Amino acid sequence: MDARKVSDTAVVMPVRMLPQDANPAGNVHGGVILRQIDLVGGIAATRYARSRVVTASIDRVDFLEPVKVGEVMVLKAQVNYVGSTSMEVGVRVEAEDMLSGETRHAATAYMTFVAMGQDGKPRALPALERETPEDQRRFSEAEARRHTRREERRRERS
């Protein structure tokens, strides 16, 4: 199986936030943001795996700034790390005020997806080709998060 490039997994998805997406204060509900994070993460993971994928976990979501009604939420995703059947996808959420052009870093998330074969079982993934020092940094950080996740699961089982 040939390695696949990080850049081949990159997704940029703009979504206009409307009144039905928000609370009475005009801030977009966290659940709406989470749904979009899962969607864009799944696209990046599917591009990499070239097969169906399932969300195994959302390790961490940090909401940094509110997204308001009328703004465009721009979600940027890419595969950071690949194991044998699973991969970590990082998602950055930005809020863009289209009138002023101002953008804010609104949220960051790390998710794990598992590639699924036609038989409905996890399938092997090709290696991840890191093209830039930034790709390598993200890979190393994701590898450390994977180690932490495995240790936490081991402790929970015992």
Q: Could you list the pLDDT tens digit for every one of the 158 residues in the chain?
A: 789 999 999 999 999 999 999 999 989 999 999 999 999 999 999 999 999 999 999 988 999 999 999 999 999 999 999 999 999 999 999 999 999 999 999 999 999 999 999 999 999 999 999 999 999 999 999 999 999 989 998 999 99
CA distance 90 to 59: 10
CA distance 52 to 47: 10
Q: 113 and 53 in contact (C-beta within 8 Å)?
A: yes
Cβ partners under 8 Å of residue 43, min gap 6: 11, 13, 77
Write the CATH number for 118.
3.10.129.10
Q: How many domains does the chain have?
A: 1
Nearest to 63 by CA among 39, 28, 38, 88: 28
User: Three-state DSSP class for 66?
Assistant: coil
CA distance 30 to 37: 10
E-strand spans in the chain?
4-5, 11-16, 52-63, 72-82, 86-96, 103-116, 128-129
Nearest to 53 by CA among 88, 11, 2, 24: 88
The pLDDT value recorded for residue 62 is: 96
Helical (H) or strand (E) element with 98: none
The pLDDT value recorded for residue 155 is: 93
CA distance 106 to 15: 14
The domain in which residue 70 lies consists of 4-157
